[in-house]
Amino acid sequence: AKADGRGSFRHFEPGMDAQMLERQRLELDLRMAVEKGEFSVHYQPLVNLEDQKVSGFEALLRWSHPVRGNIPPADFIPLAEETGLIDAIGRFVLEQACRDAVTWPDHMKVAVNLSPAQFRTTEVLATVVRALDLSGLRPARLDLEITESLLMDRSDGALQTLKALRELGVGISMDDFGTGYSSLSYLRSFPFTKIKIDKSFVKDLHASADSQAIVRAIVGLGRSMGMKVIAEGIENADDLDFLMQEGCAEGQGYLFSKPRPVSEMAELLESSPAQ
């Protein structure tokens, strides 16, 4: 047993030591990963449901660890957020995504995920400006995806930063819409240009009357508030059919394509001739 700061005793299970050690190791590896070039960005097509053409790509971070292989973002982003490493990682993703996007046809956008932790300072604004400047990408071709937890945690600073980003001309999407607590009031006070229906409502949509009602309501909400609506996690044709009938503007999911590395970009672009 070890004394903690308050003079009481906390017992450490043998397994817990191992867990902490593991975490420290991962943190050390994470610190080195950017410099060692272990991160890459994969791209998943966003499809215009009206004409079935690719309208852009979502950038999704991948970590290829030299020993452990591919580590999914869900397993290291939380650690990156806690340790502040997310700033450097986020900078990498933004710069890479903008650099890649300038090589695509001009009507295609790139969507980049931002973590709420990146809004702890105003640095994220400078990071976005820099990524646009370095690449020469038109701001209108960049969409930033944020989740509701950002708005809950630090509404004031975040609102100012989002407004400033919006003034630059970049789009702001509310990711995972419907999974938070009070999405509706946030839609009114924050400058969103797009709503992304969470994949939990899209999965088996054709077989769930509840999900259908929710999706219908979100599409109607987007339409009346002037926001584009995109559905993520489309895996089968029946779900796609429902979304198209309801007039959902865009879709994304394994039915169209999994996220793929830049080396396969030519193929992804070929399947979608520029208009």
Site residues, ligand C2E (CB under 6 A): 44, 60-61, 72-74, 77, 93, 113-115, 145, 175-176, 199, 232-235, 252-254, 259
Give the residue closest to Ca ion by C-beta.
145
Rounded Cα distance, 43 and 258, in Å: 8
Which amino acid appears at position 202 of this protein?
V
Closest CB to Ca ion among 127 and 252? Answer: 252
Contacted entry of Ca ion, ligand C2E, none for residue 61, CB cut-off 5 to 8 Å set by kind:
ligand C2E
Closest by alpha carbon to 26, among 71, 86, 62, 60? Answer: 71
Q: Which of 230, 159, 157, 220 is nearest to 193 (CA)?
A: 230
Residue 103 beta carbon to ligand C2E: minimum distance, rounded to whole angstroms: 19
Phi, psi of 2 (to 5 degrees): -120, 150
Tokens at 83, concatenated = 């340790």
Determine the 3-state secondary structure of 269 from DSSP: helix
Nearer of residues 96 and 113 to Ca ion, judged by Cβ: 113
Nearest CB to ligand C2E, comparing residues 72 and 261: 72
Question: Shortest distance, CB of residue 176 to ligand C2E, whole angstroms?
Answer: 6
If the CB atoms of residues 29 and 218 are measured against Ca ion, the closer one turns out to be 218
Nearest position to ligand C2E, beta carbon: 253
Cβ 56 vs Cβ 46: under 8 Å: yes
CA angle (169 as vertex; 263, 137 as ends), nearest 5: 30
Q: Which is nearer to ligand C2E, 114 or 230 (CB)?
A: 114
Can you tell me the distance from the alpha carbon of 274 to that of 272, in angstroms, rounded to the nearest whole number? 6
171 binds, among ligand C2E, Ca ion, none (CB under 5 to 8 A by kind): none
CA dihedral 49, 51, 53, 56 (to 10 degrees): -50
> Which residues are at the interface with Ca ion (CB under 5 A)?
113, 145, 175-176
Closest approach of Cβ 17 to Ca ion, in Å?
32
Closest distance to ligand C2E from the beta carbon of 44 (Å):
6
Instruction: Please report how close the Cβ of residue 252 comes to Ca ion at its closest, in angstroms.
Output: 9
Instruction: Write the CA distances from 213 to 49, 98, 185, 244, integer angstroms.
Output: 19, 37, 20, 14
Min separation Cβ 77 and ligand C2E, Å = 5
Partner in contact with 220, chosen from ligand C2E, Ca ion, none, beta carbon below 5 to 8 Å by kind = none
